[in-house]
Chain A
Amino acid sequence: MSAVVADMPKSDMSKPVAPATTKAIAPSKGGRPWTFYVLSALFSLYVIALYGPMFCIYILSFQDIRGGLVFPMKGHSLHWFVDLFTQVRTGDVKGSFDRSIKLAVIVTLITVVVSFLAGLGFRKRFRGDTFVFYMMIGSLVAPGLVLGLGTGLLFQALGLNASWYTSALGAQLSWTLPFGVLVMFAVMSRFDLVWEEAAYDLGASRWQSIRLVMIPVLAPGLVAVALFGFTLSYDEFARSLQTAGSLNTLPLEIWSMTLNVTSPSLYALGTVTTIVSFIVIGASLGSIVLIQKKRGSSAKG
Chain B
Amino acid sequence: MKSDHGDIELAGVCKSFDGITNVVDGVNLKIADGAYCCFIGPSGCGKTTILRMIAGHEDPTAGEIVIGGQNVVGLAPVQRRTAMMFQSYALFPHLTVRENIAFALRVRGQSKADRLRAADAMIEKVRLTQFADRLPAQLSGGQQQRVALARAAITEPRVLLLDEPLSALDEKLRVQMRQELRRMQQELGITFIHVTHTQLEAIALADLVVVMEQGRIKQAGAARDVYAHPHDRYVAEFMGGQNVLSGRVEKVNGTSFTLAQAAPAGIEVPLQARSTVSVGDTVDIAVRRDDVALVRPGRELPPGCSNSLPSRVLAIEYQGYFVKVMLDTVPDDEFVAYVPEKTFFADPFTVGDVVMATWATGSALPLAHESRRAQGV
A194 at the interface (CB under 8 A from B): yes
Of B102-110, B175-183, B228-236, the one touching chain A: B102-110
A204 to B90, CA, bound (A): 14
A203 contacts B104, C-beta separation under 8 Å: yes
Residues of A within 8 A of B135 (CB): 295, 299
**A-side binding surface: helix, strand, loop or mixed?**
helix
B93 contacts A by Cβ under 8 Å = yes
B132 and chain A: residue at smallest CB distance: A299
Q: Are B138 and A197 in touch, CB under 8 angstroms?
A: no
Q: How many residues of A contact B (CB 8 A)?
A: 24
Within 8 Å by CB of A202, from B99, B138, B151, lies B151
Let me know if B344 is at the binding interface, CB within 8 A.
no
A255 interfacial contact with B, CB 8 Å: no
Chain B residues in 8 Å Cβ range of A194? 86, 88, 90
Complex CA distance for A179 and B303, rounded to whole angstroms: 81
Known: A194-B88, A201-B77, A202-B83. A216 touches B103 (CB 8 A): no
Partner of B138, one of A198, A200, A213, A299: A299
Chain A proximity mask over B89-106: 1 for CB below 8 Å, otherwise 0: 011111010010001101
Most buried by B among A192, A298, A301: A298
* Distance (whole angstroms) from the CB of B17 to the closest CB of chain A: 13
CA distance A208 to B155 in the complex (A): 17
Q: How many angstroms between the C-alpha atoms of A216 and B93 in the bound complex?
A: 9
Q: How many residues of B contact A (CB 8 A)?
A: 30
The yes or no answer to A28 lying at the interface (CB within 8 A) is no
Q: Are B134 and A299 in contact (CB under 8 A)?
A: yes
**Residue from B92, B94, B155 within 8 A of A203 (CB atoms):** B155
Encoded as 1 (CB less than 8 Å from any A CB) or 0, chain B from 42 to 55 comes to: 00000000000001
A212 and B100 alpha carbons, distance in the complex (Å):
11
CA of A301 to CA of B107 in the docked complex: distance in angstroms? 26
B160-215 interface with A by 8 A CB criterion: none
**Which residue of chain B is the closest to A299 with respect to CB atoms?**
B135
Q: Flag whether B78 is at the interface (Cβ < 8 A).
A: yes
Known: A195-B90, A299-B134. Is A200-B106 also a contact (CB below 8 A)? no
Contacts of A199 in B (CB 8 A): 92, 103, 107
Instruction: Tell me whether B106 and A212 are in contact (CB under 8 A).
Output: yes
Given contact pairs A12-B137, A203-B78, A299-B133, A212 touches B107 in the complex (Cβ within 8 A): yes
Residues of A within 8 A of B134 (CB): 299, 301
- In the complex, what distance in Å separates the CA atom of A13 from the CA atom of B56? 38
A215 to chain B: closest residue by CB: B94
CB of B94 within 8 A of CB of A197, answer no
Of B55, B106, B137, the residue contacting A201 (CB under 8 A) is B55
Q: Which of B24-67 contact A (CB under 8 A)?
A: 55-57
Partner of A197, one of B76, B90, B91: B90
Do A203 and B77 form a contact, CB below 8 Å, given A195-B90, A197-B90?
yes
B78: chain A residues within 8 A (beta carbon): 202-203
A299 contacts across to B, CB distance below 8 A: 96, 133-135, 138
B108→A203 contact, CB < 8 A: yes
Q: Does A274 have its Cβ within 8 Å of any Cβ on chain B?
A: no
In the assembled complex, B223 has its CB within 8 A of some CB on chain A: no
| Interface check A300, CB cutoff 8 A | yes
B301 proximal to A (CB < 8 A): no
For B93, list chain A residues within 8 Å (CB).
195, 217
A213, B92: Cβ atoms under 8 Å?
A: yes
Q: Which residue from chain B places its CB closest to the CB of A216 in the assembled complex?
A: B94
Q: Are A217 and B133 in contact (CB under 8 A)?
A: no
Residue in B closest to A297 when the chains form the complex, CB atoms: B133
Q: Does A14 contact B (CB under 8 A)?
A: yes
A-chain residues with CB within 8 Å of residue B285 when the two chains form the complex: none
In the complex, what residues of A have CB within 8 A of residue B106's CB?
Answer: 212
* Interchain CA distance A261-B152 in the complex, whole Å: 69
- Knowing A208-B107, A212-B107, A295-B94 are in contact, say whether A201-B83 is a contact too (CB < 8 A): yes
A195 touches B92 (CB 8 A): yes
B76 touches A200 (CB 8 A): yes
Q: Residue-by-residue, is A1-15 near B (CB-CB < 8 Å gives 1, otherwise 0)? A: 000000000001010
Residues of B contacting A12 with CB < 8 Å? 137
Best-surrounded residue of A200, A203, A216, A301 (most CB of chain B within 10 A): A203
Closest to A300 in B: B133
B155 contacts A197, CB within 8 Å? no
Q: Within 8 Å CB of B86, what residues of A? A: 194, 197-198
* In the bound complex, CA of A41 to CA of B316 (Å): 63
What CA separation (Å) do A301 and B132 show in the bound complex? 9
A156 interface residue, CB < 8 Å from B?
no
Q: Give the Cβ gap from A256 to chain B, nearest Cβ, in Å.
A: 47
User: B84 interface residue, CB < 8 Å from A?
Assistant: yes
Q: What is the CB-to-nearest-CB distance from B23 to chain A, in angstroms, rounded to a whole number?
A: 18
The yes or no answer to A205 lying at the interface (CB within 8 A) is: yes
Write the nearest CB–CB distance from A125 to chain B, whole angstroms: 13
Which of B88, B90, B103, B138 contacts A212, CB < 8 Å? B103
Q: Which residues of A contact B77 (CB under 8 A)?
A: 200-203
Q: Is the CB of B88 within 8 A of A202?
A: no
Given contacts A217-B94, A299-B96, whether A203 and B107 have CB atoms under 8 Å apart is yes
Give chain B residues whose Cβ lies under 8 Å from the Cβ of A197.
Answer: 57, 86, 90
Residues of B within 8 A of A216 (CB): 94
| Bound Cα distance A202, B96 (Å) | 16
Chain B positions 299-348 with a Cβ under 8 Å from a chain A Cβ: none
Q: Which 9 A-B pairs have the closest CB atoms?
A: A198-B90, A203-B78, A202-B104, A204-B107, A194-B90, A299-B135, A216-B94, A201-B77, A201-B84
14 contacts between A and B (CB under 8 A): A12-B137, A192-B88, A194-B88, A200-B76, A201-B77, A202-B83, A202-B104, A203-B76, A203-B77, A203-B108, A204-B107, A217-B94, A298-B133, A299-B135
A-B contact sample (11 more), CB < 8 A, given A200-B77, A212-B107 = A12-B137, A195-B93, A197-B57, A198-B86, A200-B57, A201-B55, A201-B77, A202-B83, A202-B152, A212-B106, A299-B138
